[in-house]
Amino acid sequence: MAVRPVLTWGDPRLKINSSDIGEWTPELDQLVADLFDTTYAEEGVGLAAPQVGVNLNLAVIDTSCGADPSARIVLVNPEVVKEEGSQVGPEGCLSIPGIHEVLERPMKVWVRNRTPQGEWVELEGEELLARAFCHEIDHLRGRLFVEYFGPVKRQILQRKFNKSRA
């Protein structure tokens, strides 16, 4: 088990637009395993490579939190191609521990995704999985979920986060 340290809000590496992955390598297999190990250790639903300091378009999601191995999803160079409906609910982030806020996301999302074998597939997610797709792809674009809020709300959340870290 290889749990990696998760970067937290304020680290400039979380603001970088990630690079596409070319040829799949054994090092990427190890990174995927580490991302899942870290997600489970931190009791999360997903984790993007930039959150552990790796600037690649790679993320993992498991809405079963490790209970169902078939629920494991690896996102490689993903792109949202369609959104439908809306849902409003609480959202958190392993890079912003202790902060959970209500945020609107699409109810259903379709994602164009590359498999490690290089094939392009379309993934479909509803409810929590749709939220997770959007959240992790935001990380790959250098965006944290708190950036959906206005400046005053973000300042309040930043103070709350900083206070919890002191």
Marked catalytic residue, from 42, 119, 136, 147: 136
Under a CB-based contact definition with an 8 Å cutoff, are residues 129 and 71 in contact? no
Please indicate whether residue 136 is annotated as part of the active site: yes
Instruction: Look at residue 166 in the predicted model and tell me its pLDDT.
Output: 78
CA end-to-end span of the chain? 29
The residues facing 83 across adjacent strands are 109
Residues 47, 38 contacting (CB under 8 angstroms): yes
- Report the binding-site residues for Fe cation: 93, 135, 139
- How many other C-beta atoms are found inside a 10 Å radius of the C-beta of residue 12? 8
25-38: per-residue pLDDT in tens? 999 999 999 999 99
pLDDT for res 156: 95
In CATH terms, the superfamily for domain 12-165 is Peptide deformylase (3.90.45.10)
Q: What is the pLDDT of residue 108?
A: 98
The type of residue at 99 is I
Task: Give the integer Cα–Cα distance in Å for 48 and 13.
Answer: 12
pLDDT, mean of each 10-residue run, the chain (166 residues):
93 97 96 97 97 98 95 97 97 96 97 94 98 98 97 95 88
Contact 16, 51 (CB under 8 A): no
| Confidence (pTM) | 0.95
- Would you mind telling me the total number of residues written for the chain in this entry? 166
| Cβ-count burial 78-116 (b if 16+ within 10 Å, e if not) | bebeeeeeeeeeebbbbbbbebeeebebbbbbbbebbee
- Round to whole Å and give the CA distance between 27 and 111: 24
